[in-house]
Structure 1
Amino acid sequence: MRISRRGIMAGGAAVVAAAVPVSRALAAGRPPIVNSIALEKGRVWIAALIEGKGPHFFLIDTGSALSFITDDFAKSIGLEKTKGQPRYGIGGGVSDYGWYIAKEVRLASGTRFADMVFAGARSIDGEGVGGFGSGMFTSYDSDFDFVKGEWRVYPDGRGDFAGLKKLPSHFTKERIAPRIEIDVSIDGFATELVLDTGASMDALLSGRAAARSGLWDDSKPYAPTQAKGFGREGIPSRYVRGTTLSVGEFTFERPLVMVNAPGTVSRQNGLLGLGVLQRLNLTTQASSGTVWAARNGVTKGWNSYPLSGLWLDQRKDGGATIADVGTGSPAAAAGLKKGDVVTGAFPELLRAIAGGPGKQVTLTVASGGGAPRAVQYTLAPWL
């Protein structure tokens, strides 16, 4: 069975008129439907029963036009996989993971979704089994209240936007479900970014935007990493620290920005992530296709980056080659350089260089074919 785009829209979007309990749908002057959400380690989670089983945790991922579910979990509850369509990932890569249809998905509030369509995914971060995409949040007026831990949906419209500021934003026109784009300025570089509660950093810039912004600069401090997402994995990327990030009337100091390597391809300029978003209470207005916001008192987002400043590539002999060393990092201060060979089992090396501030790291390293030597350094933040 092949799923049509109309079927994806009907299943993936929050069609509240069909989804809310009948008794509530028939009531006059309906109050908002309140669903509990949890903010943990740079992710927003919501619990749901699927096919009457659970509850299970799903990511709230407004950066994805599609809701998705892991293949292993879908198989465990007996969902049948159907042929899908190509999807473009974070680096422009294309993948086809197929679709699943769940006859019933029910949230703790009693909100029910019938015949909901999920894209298949290999895995997701954390202990969740899937994610709800942007269509859940652009079909009706809704609030993200990160302080109270609530996602509130207004079946009849919110009506009152007092105390909120309208952000320079719009809903995109896409074949499956609209996403939200917002005008953002990072260190004076103006661009449009997709509002993405599934991205933990403050912002991400695609390769083209990173090149134009000037933030990809070897002379400035950075932490090497790789961007991962649907479609393609392993895009060379960096964490850098900006000076300011502005969204409408709201300004955030020292944003942590992931920048993809110039030359990597993407269909979007980048993402505005949860590191910034969780410091605002957000309201979507479906009729105008815009977002409103207010400060919520949260002063810091999830600001995490690898503290070694190393990126290692696995060697056939089980050791590793240093693929990148971040400028200003503890590893750079210890004299490690790109191309150095590190001795040891690759999984153990990854564990050795990971950790929090104060951890001592000892590596056995050879440079340019020379004799191995011991290198020691201490993990510490430097961005």
Structure 2
Amino acid sequence: MHRRRFCSSLGATLAVTASPTLASANDGPLVGPIQLVGSRVVMPVSIGNAGTFLFAIDTGGAFSLIREDLARQLSLPDGGTLNVGVGGVTGFRNTFVISDASFAGIIRQRNILLVGVGPHVLGDQIAGALASGILATVFSELDFDALQWRVWPTGRPKLEGFTRLDSTITRPEGDRWSPFMTASGVVNGTRLRFLLDTGGLSLVRLNHHTARTLGLWSDDRPFAPARNGARIIRLEKMEFAGYTFEGLLALLLPDNQMVDISQGLIGLPLLRCFNLACDPVQRVLWTRRNSLTPGPFTYALSGLAVTQAGDAARVTGVGKGSPGEQAGIHPGDTILSPPPQALQQALNGPPGATISLTIGRDSGQSSATLTLRAYL
């Protein structure tokens, strides 16, 4: 997701903020709950006296978000408009101000500016998203085993069993934006720089130039077409934080996003395998392998990408080695039946499902049958 780094840094005025020093043995952390909800890691946020809502923790976010319908329901003050990008779409968006909020019952902040988004951006149960400053202002840890967010407001704990990453927490000039967190990883033997994004839905994402350089963007390599011309492929090997993962699915972008920051992105489905500690003094990250396995990341087993064209659908992508390719379907073909909505559901069906299609070309109509299967 391309997100312009434009807003004030969340966490800049946390009530517990202090200049961290080494903690004494008696300095324990503040502990608040987190949850894994679908493809998000979330924490409860109390907004004044209006109630408590689930907000995603988004370390790849430059600014915090809130569902605009909820902001208006709560009569939050208008914060003006900002020209920002969310979900790959850049434009002017309304902003709102939360005058007083409590994060996970342990941290309080006043006067938070959030960008309004539509109800489907974050998921059904998610009210908003908190930018990376929520973790990077004071020493903190996300513990995915215990489902806890730990904060050391006045010091730094002893990190037993943690590995210091080749990483950087970079705070943009002027502290106007939330910091971004990058670390190195190795893909098929090549060392790369990754943005660590707990709001990222993919296991691994690579920019277009990087994917081509590594030979991963190739019409001769099996791939599944994805939204907006992206591709999904299976990596041979990914090394991160001292561990090796084989056969991970990776999202390859059709363009280059945030190339000034990183060559790719590691999202929550992989990051959740590690407890993540943020050290804002040394500006580095530490990890410890936990008991979780990589989260799900899927692709359409049909190998087809389509867009609606009136009462039909036009094929925009056909994956190499896919059932769609084997059925003789080509980009530019028109699928006359099933109708678009039913077709989209069928193309994303389970293994073994069979789909009968009516194909339209300049030469006339034909029939094709697909049996869905995992092919990457």
TM-score (norm 2): 0.87
Structure 1 residues 47-196: aligned runs within 5 Å: 47-88=44-85, 94-123=90-119, 124-127=121-124, 128-174=126-172, 175-196=176-197
Q: 1:6 to 1:307 in 2, by over 3 A?
A: closer
SS at match of 2:346: helix
1:361 aligns with 2:359: no
**Which string of whole-angstrom CA distances, capped at 9 and with x for unpartnered residues, describes residues 135-188 of structure 1?**
111111111111211111111233201211101100123241111011122112
Partner amino acid, structure 1, of 2:115: A
Query: 1:265: how far off?
Result: 7.7
Structure 1 residues 208-227: aligned runs within 5 Å: 208-226=209-227
Match of 1:230 in 2: none
SS at match of 2:269: helix
Structure 2 CA distance, aligned partners of 1:197 and 1:302? 14
Aligned length: 359
Q: Residue 60 of structure 2 contacts residue 131 of structure 2 at CA under 8 Å; is this kept in 1? A: yes
Structure 1 CA distance, aligned partners of 2:328 and 2:54? 44
Q: Residue 200 of structure 1 contacts residue 302 of structure 1 at CA under 8 Å; is this kept in 2? A: no
Q: 1:187 to 1:368 in 2, by over 3 A?
A: farther
Structure 1 residues 210-249: aligned runs within 5 Å: 210-226=211-227, 235-249=228-242
SS at match of 2:15: helix
Q: Residue 186 of structure 1 contacts residue 246 of structure 1 at CA under 8 Å; is this kept in 2? A: yes
Partner amino acid, structure 2, of 1:98: N
Match of 1:255 in 2: 248
Q: Residue 14 of structure 1 contacts residue 137 of structure 1 at CA under 8 Å; is this kept in 2? A: no
Structure 2 CA distance, aligned partners of 1:308 and 1:125? 26
Q: Residue 13 of structure 2 contacts residue 110 of structure 2 at CA under 8 Å; is this kept in 1? A: no
SS at match of 2:78: coil
Q: Residue 238 of structure 2 contacts residue 244 of structure 2 at CA under 8 Å; is this kept in 1? A: yes
Q: Residue 208 of structure 1 contacts residue 264 of structure 1 at CA under 8 Å; is this kept in 2? A: no
Q: Residue 187 of structure 1 contacts residue 245 of structure 1 at CA under 8 Å; is this kept in 2? A: yes
Match of 1:307 in 2: 301
Larger mean CA deviation between 278-287 and 344-353 belongs to 344-353
SS at match of 2:342: helix
Q: Residue 355 of structure 2 contacts residue 370 of structure 2 at CA under 8 Å; is this kept in 1? A: yes
Structure 1 CA distance, aligned partners of 2:257 and 2:369? 34
**Which string of whole-angstrom CA distances, capped at 9 and with x for unpartnered residues, describes residues 22-44 of structure 1?**
xxxxxx95521222111233221
**Which string of whole-angstrom CA distances, capped at 9 and with x for unpartnered residues, describes residues 59-108 of structure 1?**
111110211112222111112333243335676x6433132111122234
SS at match of 2:365: coil
Structure 2 CA distance, aligned partners of 1:314 and 1:189? 39
Q: Residue 41 of structure 1 contacts residue 302 of structure 1 at CA under 8 Å; is this kept in 2? A: no
Q: 1:225 to 1:179 in 2, by over 3 A?
A: same
Q: Residue 78 of structure 2 contacts residue 96 of structure 2 at CA under 8 Å; is this kept in 1? A: yes
Structure 2 CA distance, aligned partners of 1:7 and 1:61? 14
Partner amino acid, structure 2, of 1:149: L
Structure 1 residues 294-333: aligned runs within 5 Å: 294-315=288-309, 317-333=310-326
Query: 1:328: how far off?
Result: 1.6
Q: 1:158 to 1:57 in 2, by over 3 A?
A: same
Q: Residue 61 of structure 2 contacts residue 132 of structure 2 at CA under 8 Å; is this kept in 1? A: yes
Match of 2:22 in 1: none
Structure 1 CA distance, aligned partners of 2:257 and 2:239? 25
Structure 2 CA distance, aligned partners of 1:66 and 1:378? 43
Structure 1 CA distance, aligned partners of 2:357 and 2:6? 55
Partner amino acid, structure 1, of 2:128: G
Partner amino acid, structure 1, of 2:201: S
Match of 2:273 in 1: 279
Structure 1 CA distance, aligned partners of 2:312 and 2:91? 31
Identity of aligned residues (%): 29
SS at match of 2:150: strand
**Which string of whole-angstrom CA distances, capped at 9 and with x for unpartnered residues, describes residues 209-243 of structure 1?**
222222111111111112xxxxxxxx421111111
TM-score (norm 1): 0.86
Structure 1 CA distance, aligned partners of 2:243 and 2:360? 49
Match of 2:43 in 1: 46
> Which structure 2 residue ranges, 5 or more long, are not aligned?
19-24
Q: 1:105 to 1:223 in 2, by over 3 A?
A: same
Q: Residue 68 of structure 1 contacts residue 118 of structure 1 at CA under 8 Å; is this kept in 2? A: yes
> Which structure 1 residue ranges, 5 or more long, are not aligned?
21-27, 227-234
Query: 1:7: how far off?
Result: 8.5
Match of 1:24 in 2: none
Structure 2 CA distance, aligned partners of 1:131 and 1:223? 29
